[in-house]
Structure 1
Amino acid sequence: MGNYKFEEFKKYINGRNAAVIGIGISNTPLIKWLISLGCNVTACDKMTDEDPVLKKNIDALKEISSDIKWSLGESYLTHLREDHYDIVFKTPKMRFETPELQALKEMGSILTTEMELFMNLCPAEIFAITGSDGKTTTTTLTSEILKQAGYKVWIGGNIGTPLLDRIAEIEPDDKVVLELSSFQLLGMNTPADVAIVTNITPNHLDFHKDYDEYIQAKINVFRNQGPVGKVVLNAGCDLTYEMKDIARGRVKLFSANKGKVMRTDSPLYPRAYTEDGRLIYEENGDIYDICGIDEIFIPGTHNVENFLAATCAVIDYVKPEDIAYVAKTFKGVPHRIEFIRELDGVRWYNSSIDTSPNRSLNTMNALAARNEKGVLICGGADKKCLYAKLGDAILNVCDRIIIYGSNADLVTDIIAKEAHGRQYEIYRIPDKEGDVYEFPKTRDNVVNAYKEAINKAREWAKPGEIVIMSSIGTSYDHFRHFEHRGDMFRDLVNELE
């Protein structure tokens, strides 16, 4: 069975002019793909080829075609007014109301993104996961359960690889699982077939105009669904629970707290919850006992919630035993309370994904549930998030804290505010001028700062304790992304003798 939409797009794009803004991970394959379809491409980026990553991408593209036009540097958008473009692909972190983009729209250009075009052209059913926390784990769980049931699964969005250039390989019977951020969803008009909203807490307010815009972006994942669409909502979060009232598709609810999914105003919704230490799915009077909470390999109540969300999404496509198998065998994803090694009786963990206070709060609560004690290494860039309850959660696990990052004052203040007489020690490593990333390597002083933090943690930690790197902020103060930070931390810990 062919992909009619893709065939029509190929006819449309051949010989047309396209501008691609951002020459990064997702847009580099997009540029190659557009060229293969006979499109005339102008590639744009605010950075210049002095950036080593951008230079590598540009060199790779030049090997494919010498006809690509380039618009680089601070005035990269200004140059776009010099030509007409039929279609313009923006980078996710660029706002549609950017004056240069609006000018192009007024000139007749179609404004879109790599992700929206993919969702429009994809012939397979799309499962899309968004929310403030738990996206990556829930996305991975959803894909792993579908694979266990025998489906061919394509995973993309914020994780996996860009999928648009693979569109010709995707069959209607396949399943596509996407992790989508608020950046990708802002202005999105194409809904997922099956949408999950894990939760909503203030996040990325350094980018969004306000909290409401952030919430509305998340809603876009299901806003335009029809009656055959499905949306999975966290009943334990009031904001996501209320989204059921605007959903036009089939609503499912989940929460580890059974009382939340059994609210008197929601008796008819299919639901997943926990009861007597078991994961339960209930629909139309049928009750499915999936597995015991203690059988789930990865720790933490938040991971129980992730399994419940994934269960709601996939239960119509798989057997309960497929879900149970993944629950018992799935070991988690990198950078999420990732065990690195044990040295001198101390266990070292990497949780670089903790790019917000709420993520670190979940990590601390998961460790507290296991009665872990030890040393915290933290610090990153603030996203104008709320830090309430974080200090208490940290001190429930770690009374020795090492901080290196631009949000150090915020972390220090919330710990002091919520200590309530508990004793603790803080070791701060100050930022030095020029402490920014130089990808693929970090600057020496950033590496040395992390070495200092690790050595101090090793000095402090006792046998039987843990050292956890839970950053409480984004990586952009010192690194290119959180994986870069986590990979470096893991490498440095593995170098210890």
Structure 2
Amino acid sequence: MEKVLVIGAARSGVAVSKLLKKNGYDVLLTDAKEVPEKEELEDLGIQVVDGGHPDWLLNTEYAFVVKNPGIPYRVPIIKYFVDAKVPVYTEIEVAYRFAKHFSYGAITGTDGKTTVTTLLYEMLKKAGPALTAGNIGIPLSEQVLSHDDQDTRIALELSNFQLLGIDSFRPHVSTITNLAPDHLDYMDSLDDYYSSKMRIYKNTTKEDYFIRNVDDPNIMKYAQNIPCQVIDFSLQRQDVDLYVKDGQAWYQDISLFHVNDLKIVGAFNCGNAMMAACMAYLMGVSLDDIQDVIQNFKGVEHRIEYVTTIDGVRIYNDTKATNTHSACAALSAFKENVILLCGGKDKHISFDDLKQYDHKIKHCFSFGQTKDQFKDIFTHQTSVETMQAAFAEACKIAKPGDTILLSPACSSFDQFKNYEVRGEIYKNMVHAYAKTRR
């Protein structure tokens, strides 16, 4: 029986441990923290070592190692196995090997991944059994454990962390939404970050498809020598395969949907919808089903999510904007009088891109670790300690017709568990304030 070491007992680590055990492997799971599921896992025959990684773990022979995607390769225990030339995978690769009945539409990129993935899933499930998985929050291993016995289409969101740990994973249709600086606290360089995204199509063949965003110069620089069929996409040109003309989104000579049917704001969201619709069409979804989803889709939670209107002030939650590229996309969707709430963990990324929207910003209240880095970005800016303080200050100056927008341009990990928690706290705060205004 081959032995496998799983490093990191988050949701994906627990799921992949169960999947490996089910498929006949001797599994050892380790985590630096206490593992709440330890008793359950040990009852399944999985050995659990928590509260640290003892040295004896390094003196065992493993067929391969599975690491949590969030653990950098420079962490000593990971680096040891890389240097020892032991294969190190993420759970996506393991799940793929055991999911013989799944076909994949895979999405990566800096921003827009979750919107494209969610739209694709809504379309796929119109045509038959479908699931969503990956970076969207549900481990692929978890889905394989529950659904590996039926033909299923998967809308799979992939981070570059997950892509770094694949070996044989092959999607039928894939895309990279866009590329902008991100995760420089994890990656050794920007070149490494961009290059890692290209792994999404590395195992594809002539039977597969890759949608290439020709409007993005970084994608055009890195997405070369693609082994599958390439579908060029643009919001600005019509001499490509996927384009806008006469108010419609077209794939070659096929009208996918009418642009005016979209409920989600911003030109970038039109692009997201076009990618999802094209992927769905190539995966067998009918045009009627695609158009029905387009007409009824109201957006993804935490991504330019309308919360409420208080005293004529519209309030939006864009906590998923964890970098400047994403925050710029949000700001581009509004005309003026934006009271911006931003800041968070420092990922060593410049905020200069935000300067182009200074004319739209009535005031910026920045918070968290990066609060003072916005002083030179916006003409009207105030630093505060917390998001709660930023919202309180915004409410003091907001007038009818203004927009209060939480779009942090930073990750949440300085003050919150994750961006979802940040968004939930923000929305609860907004609703609590609304009650005081009645």
**What is the TM-score when the length of structure 1 is the normalising length?**
0.81
Find the aligned partners of 1:116 and 1:321 in 2 and give their Cα distance.
34
Partner of 2:157: 179
Instruction: Specify whether residues 188 and 77 from structure 1 end up closer, same or farther in structure 2 by C-alpha distance, changes over 3 A only.
Output: farther
Post-superposition offset of 1:211: 1.3
Instruction: Specify whether residues 242 and 172 from structure 1 end up closer, same or farther in structure 2 by C-alpha distance, changes over 3 A only.
Output: farther
Q: Does 1:412 align with 2:371?
A: no
1:382 aligns with one of 346, 350, 358: 346
Amino acid at match of 2:369: S
Instruction: Specify whether residues 472 and 82 from structure 1 end up closer, same or farther in structure 2 by C-alpha distance, changes over 3 A only.
Output: same
Partner of 1:397: 360
1:429 aligns with one of 378, 384, 391: 384
The count of corresponding residues between Structure 1 and Structure 2 is 430
1:472 aligns with one of 405, 409, 415: 409
1:84 aligns with one of 39, 42, 61: 61
Post-superposition offset of 1:289: 2.5
Secondary structure of 2:257's counterpart equals: strand
Amino acid at match of 2:196: A
Instruction: Specify whether residues 97 and 390 from structure 1 end up closer, same or farther in structure 2 by C-alpha distance, changes over 3 A only.
Output: closer
Unaligned runs of 5+ in 1: 1-14, 263-268, 417-423, 431-448
Amino acid at match of 1:114: E
Larger radius of gyration: 1
CA RMSD of aligned residues (A): 2.3
Partner of 1:215: 194
Post-superposition offset of 1:117: 1.1
Q: How does 1:9-158 map to 2 (within 5 A)?
A: 15-37=1-23, 39-46=25-32, 48-49=33-34, 54=35, 56-58=36-38, 61=41, 64-65=43-44, 68-73=47-52, 76=53, 78-96=55-73, 100-101=77-78, 103-104=80-81, 109-123=86-100, 124-148=102-126, 150-158=127-135
Secondary structure of 1:415's counterpart equals: coil
2:273 aligns with one of 307, 310, 313: 307
Contact 2:198 2:223 in 1 (8 A): no
Deviations 1:5-44 (A, max 9, x none): xxxxxxxxxx432211011121122223334445433221
Instruction: Specify whether residues 373 and 171 from structure 1 end up closer, same or farther in structure 2 by C-alpha distance, changes over 3 A only.
Output: farther
Deviations 1:101-152 (A, max 9, x none): 454467685432211111233222111100111111011111111123x221
Instruction: Specify whether residues 58 and 216 from structure 1 end up closer, same or farther in structure 2 by C-alpha distance, changes over 3 A only.
Output: same
Partner of 1:188: 166
Partner of 2:296: 329
Find the aligned partners of 1:383 and 1:97 in 2 and give their Cα distance.
17
Partner of 1:296: 262
**What is the TM-score when the length of structure 2 is the normalising length?**
0.91
Find the aligned partners of 1:297 and 1:71 in 2 and give their Cα distance.
47
Contact 1:272 1:311 in 2 (8 A): no
Find the aligned partners of 1:278 and 1:95 in 2 and give their Cα distance.
43
Contact 2:28 2:46 in 1 (8 A): no
The alignment-based identity, stated in percent, is 28
Q: How does 1:432-471 map to 2 (within 5 A)?
A: 449-471=386-408
Deviations 1:427-449 (A, max 9, x none): 3113xxxxxxxxxxxxxxxxxx3
Amino acid at match of 2:242: A
Contact 1:141 1:310 in 2 (8 A): yes
